[in-house]
Structure 1
């Protein structure tokens, strides 16, 4: 999302759930949140479809969930390959970084894998990549009047 729309993305630890915060010019953040919402819905559907497609596998529900997560990681990677980077001016980039430093305490994120491994996990990942490559992501168009910086929060589940 950062590359496609020229915004900075921050994951916030909320009390109930994690928030995704996009920081950049107002129009870019609004378009980015909309796109994030659409892609999240598509990904949720793809995950459910994949779980249904592997119903024939004789494995535990936990392993099926891990394989579905691996598929989703591949799908996101495939979608990422379709992104055409947006250009961000030096001034816009500097102002965005200043805003982030003023408003947020940034620390490295704790990342985890899906927990799946082996040939089945590799197959799931590459099936996801192929499906993701077929998903098209287009940049939205909206003019900024003064190029004002803004933060826009996606308040769904991350």
Structure 2
């Protein structure tokens, strides 16, 4: 091989090692960048500092559609009070089905009496609205049962 050919092979080998060295310090993909930016801690307490009775995965559980009150349905009533009403405190679930949902609250199952197979549940949630009277009048379904305000 002549001197020129030897120089080209050396240059190619040098370029290959530089490229290989760069690949170990690759720039993160968009998915990797998004993944690392979503590791921010998600709020797990209400405005009074009480821990939610479940761990939420929704970073936008509190949002512009439900921030009209500091009242937190999931911490407003304690486990003893729920049990006294026939509600199973351990059955609590987040009422929201997606991040940033309009409603904020919880669902509970009633305690089963005599091993019954019928499953009844109760929900308590908040969302921004002109007024409760407006919702009762306009948004209620025929099957909605409104209990006295507590």
- Asked if these proteins are the same fold (TM beyond 0.5), I'd say no
Q: Which has the higher contact order (CA 8 A, sep 6+)?
A: 1
Question: How high is the TM-score relative to the length of structure 1?
Answer: 0.27
